[in-house]
Amino acid sequence: MTMKWALLSVWNKEGIVDLARELHRHRLQLLSSGGTGAALKEASIPFTEVSAYTGSSEMMDGRVKTLHPRIHGGLLGRRGIDDGVMREEGIHQIDLLVANLYPFEEMANKGLPLGELVEYIDIGGPAMIRAAAKNHKDVAVVTDPSDYPLVKEALESGGFTADQRLLFAKRAFARTAAYDAAISNYLHLLGSEFPGVYTVQFRNGRTLRYGENPHQRGAVYGQAGVAGSEPLQGKQMSYNNYLDLSSAAGLVREFSEPAAVIVKHNNPCGVAVGKNLADAYIQARDVDPVSAYGSVVALNREVDRHLAEDIASTFVEVVAAPEYTRNALQVFGKKENLRVLHLPAAERGWELRSIDGGLLVQDTPPYQERWEVVTDRDATPAEMKAMKFACIVCAHTRSNAIVFADATRTLGIGAGQMSRVDAAKIAIEKSRFSLAGSAVASDAFLPFPDTLEVAAAAGATALVQPGGSIRDKEVIEAANRLDVAMVFTGVRHFRH
């Protein structure tokens, strides 16, 4: 399709002058206005001012400039159907629209007063984009500077294909939908902790081989964080791989020292810190080597060849780390199915979970645990360090959760049990190490002394829990009787 007219109206001027120069070189007539027109004028690129074309001057400080029948008629006019009307009204067929929008999202994050912020709500831009996208059979609409190379390719090949125009239309409607969602969410959030209407959009959708199980279908959406991650090598990530990696990444980011986290079925099965990353990984793997088979491993330092060889010596599904040496990647390359990823930076924001018929939304504002020793015996420095380590892991383990640990590694993990005392028994049964002198963490308060009694019988000498049970006094008395140092934090860490 030969193009004759292009309308350029962008807030983000990145690449627009070079694109306009190419459009002019291919003999397209250019329409533009405002800041875009000023950029073209400065670059000595011929164009027709929108106001001159429409016969209507910009008004109301630029609020009204492209909202005109000669603009929208050129975008919406159907070739072969509306040609007569367009000739009568002196409307040119606009074949290409290049437009992006006022930066509402960016300005909303700057805390502007509402009266100032509303001036960054674009009206003419979305109207033109939607019009062109609706008429994508005849009009190409480009909303992202990263797509300008595709425009240049189309110019060289004689015009856009129908598939390209449809692709641009999809992107255009996605952009206006996200833009309107940002405005709606902002306005609905005014005076509220959560918006009464909440609209979300995730891009970069990729179909997975299947969902949690082979008879289920699955996909992943997202451009950042774990959701946006793709393997450097190995098989395609699965639905369950993404779930496990998200859990592992969240936990390993809690540590500043070299740390290794091994996750299986969305629960940590081994966590350790060490003087170096290899030491941390070996300690974490040895906590539960049976469960580590077929696991997801997250690390918070660069992986070298020696560590890669240790990891590759057992069956691992996924490895994620900030960096890898070239030799490490060569070692992993011998394991064709092993998925190796860069550990992404954390993506901050609300936590979203789907439920039947809707969505749960959760926010975790900054909070401060208030650690208070409530027993007669104070915790030793070593016990305190072990409790802090156990508490971090416990917060990333499915409830009900009980974690035994020393100062550098988990010793036993009981996860996802209906009974807290059963979680403690499972953690003890799974432990491959002596629990004498260990510390224990519970994600929620102990409703009875039984969990503490089971832990003490296994050798634990310190226990940390939120406190807040109506039987706290009984639990404290049991701790004193058993010479267990106990700390209340005041913060529960359920993870359902």
Alpha carbons 281 and 145: distance in angstroms, whole number: 44
Alpha carbons 439 and 479: distance in angstroms, whole number: 13
Smallest CA-to-CA distance from 409 within 246, 253, 258, 250 is with 258
Alpha carbons 453 and 446: distance in angstroms, whole number: 11
Beta partners for residue 324, in sequence order: 303
- Residues 162-172 as b/e (b if ≥16 CB within 10 A, e otherwise) read eebbebbbebb
177 phi and psi, to 5 degrees?
-65, -45
Q: Is 5 in contact with 161 (CB distance < 8 Å)? A: no
* Catalytic machinery residues: 134, 265
Cα 307 off chain centre by: 28
Q: CA torsion sign, 311 to 315 to 321 to 323?
A: positive
CB-based burial label for 225 (10 Å; 0-12, 13-18, 19+): middle
Q: Is 379 in contact with 463 (CB distance < 8 Å)? A: no
Q: CA torsion sign, 220 to 362 to 403 to 399?
A: negative
Q: What are the tokens at 309?
A: 């060889």
